[in-house]
């Protein structure tokens, strides 16, 4: 089978995702086109160089609807002969775009792809597209639907994570993110977003709160306690599903959960012949990809079984992985991953994660692939694994290996 190589990985800075955020006036289309143009320019590509653009975005309505991938191609400097595919696997959409592109290359369906995603959460509200699992009683009741924040608190309750532990992980995420920016570790991957006059709009993640400490987090009330214990009473739904839990321990809040932000990311994937044609040196190969379905109520435990699956399918063990990127959807998700595999925390989310910098849903999966690649190069390590939990109970993972 043909090898699929990563030739480039880039992302925009993550904006606040609010009306006062730097990217609020930038549309999903424009940010996507800017990102595609950056891939083309950085790698001196012809406009027709890639087979397809595969673009993840979760809330596919309004400006993010109507096959945004194709719209982005037409708005970019790529040729109109390149089609576009918009995909949605919730929080793993950007990763699934990369994995799909890699497997297309491996199967001989084209020499190269640009894959990634976008989410402008400050412009297109999360959940505004509706979801059958949440609003159709015939499914919601049978699947014991609860919102993700309740799911995160179920994980904390089930696996014994205290408020102090989830807050400590959040403080560490902020510390690591600040250290990474101070050390210029994102210089290779972060592009500057400019306005139509060429003036910089945003050149660094603006969501970070580097002054975060245990005291400031301790002053925050749990975000999901009221919806759990009072109206609409999701704790009772959870306890019907998990009767061995006497009470849901609500420990998550805005400070130890992923931030609502804007952003886009792209990965350039191709075979050996593509790289030779454009004089590009591969940075890594996509060694393996995987996805899995999981319990839809606790919902966010997917990184554990999908990691077990990807390792087993490829004859690997957890000790074969040098660095991990586990999306910080909520603090308990990462704590559960480290608990399940007894992974050294110093190898996980080395430069902080979505708690500190934010989680632009459709882009994050591509972002963390680029982040782990940059860090493998910085530390001169070989193998990295990126994984995300996914709404309604799924998990996705990608293993990359430097070449």
Q: How far apart are CA 364 and CA 265, in angstroms?
A: 8
Question: Of all helices (H) and strands (E), which one includes residue 84?
Answer: strand 84-87
List the strands of the sheet with 284-293, edge to edge: 84-87, 52-56, 112-120, 262-270, 5-11, 284-293, 394-402, 383-390, 323-326
Dihedral, 177, 183, 187, 188 alpha carbons, nearest 10: -100
Q: How far apart are CA 150 and CA 373, in angstroms?
A: 32
Dmax (CA) for the chain in angstroms is: 62
Token pair 């297309």 is at which residue?
A: 104
3-state secondary structure of 158: helix
Q: How far apart are CA 305 and CA 357, in angstroms?
A: 26
Token pair 């990985």 is at which residue?
A: 9
Q: Who's near 309: CB < 8 A, 6+ residues apart?
A: 290, 292, 397
Query: E-assigned strands of 199-316?
Result: 200-202, 262-270, 284-293
From the list 48, 67, 91, 250, the catalytic residue is 91
State yes or no: is 67 an active-site residue: no
b/e burial code for range 329-345 (CB count within 10 A of at least 16 → b): bbbbbbbbbbebbebee
State yes or no: is 359 an active-site residue: yes
From the list 250, 252, 253, 389, the catalytic residue is 389
Q: Who's near 128: CB < 8 A, 6+ residues apart?
A: 59, 61, 62
What size, in residues, is the chain? 403
Active site residues: 91, 359, 389
């Amino acid at each position: 089978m043909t090898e699929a190589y990563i030739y480039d990985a880039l992302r925009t800075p993550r904006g606040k995702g609010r009306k006062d955020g730097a990217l609020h006036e930038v549309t999903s289309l424009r940010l996507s086109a800017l990102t595609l143009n950056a891939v083309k320019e950085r790698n001196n590509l012809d406009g027709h160089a890639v087979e397809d653009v595969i673009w993840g975005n979760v809330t596919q309505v309004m400006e993010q609807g109507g096959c945004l991938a194709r719209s982005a191609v037409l708005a970019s400097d790529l040729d109109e002969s390149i089609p576009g595919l918009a995909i949605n696997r919730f929080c793993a959409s950007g990763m699934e775009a990369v994995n799909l592109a890699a497997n297309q290359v491996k199967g001989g369906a084209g020499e190269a792809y640009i894959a990634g995603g976008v989410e402008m959460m400050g412009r297109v509200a999360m959940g505004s597209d509706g979801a059958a699992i949440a609003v159709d009683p015939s499914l919601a009741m049978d699947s014991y639907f609860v919102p993700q924040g309740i799911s995160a608190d179920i994980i904390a309750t089930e696996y014994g994570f205290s408020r102090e532990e989830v807050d400590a992980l959040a403080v560490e995420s902020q510390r690591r993110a600040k250290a990474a920016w101070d050390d210029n570790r994102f210089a290779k991957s972060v592009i500057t977003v400019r306005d139509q006059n060429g003036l910089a709009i945003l050149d660094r993640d603006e969501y970070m709160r580097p002054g975060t400490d245990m005291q400031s987090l301790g002053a925050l009330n749990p975000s999901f306690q009221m919806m759990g214990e009072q109206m609409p009473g999701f704790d009772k739904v959870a306890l019907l599903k998990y009767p061995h839990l006497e009470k849901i321990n609500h420990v998550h809040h805005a400070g130890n959960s992923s931030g609502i932000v804007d952003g886009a990311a792209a990965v350039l994937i191709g075979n050996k012949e593509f790289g030779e044609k454009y004089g590009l040196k591969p940075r890594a190969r996509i060694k393996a990809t995987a996805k899995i379905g999981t319990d839809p109520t606790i919902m966010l435990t997917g990184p554990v079984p999908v990691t077990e699956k990807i390792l087993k399918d490829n004859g690997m063990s957890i000790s074969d992985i040098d660095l991990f990127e586990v999306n910080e959807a909520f603090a308990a998700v990462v704590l559960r991953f480290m608990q399940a595999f007894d992974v050294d925390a110093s190898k996980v989310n080395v430069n902080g994660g979505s708690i500190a910098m934010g989680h632009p849903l459709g882009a994050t999966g591509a972002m963390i692939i680029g982040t782990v690649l940059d860090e493998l190069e910085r530390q001169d390590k070989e193998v990295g694994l990126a994984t995300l939990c996914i709404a309604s109970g799924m998990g996705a993972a990608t293993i990359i290996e430097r070449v």
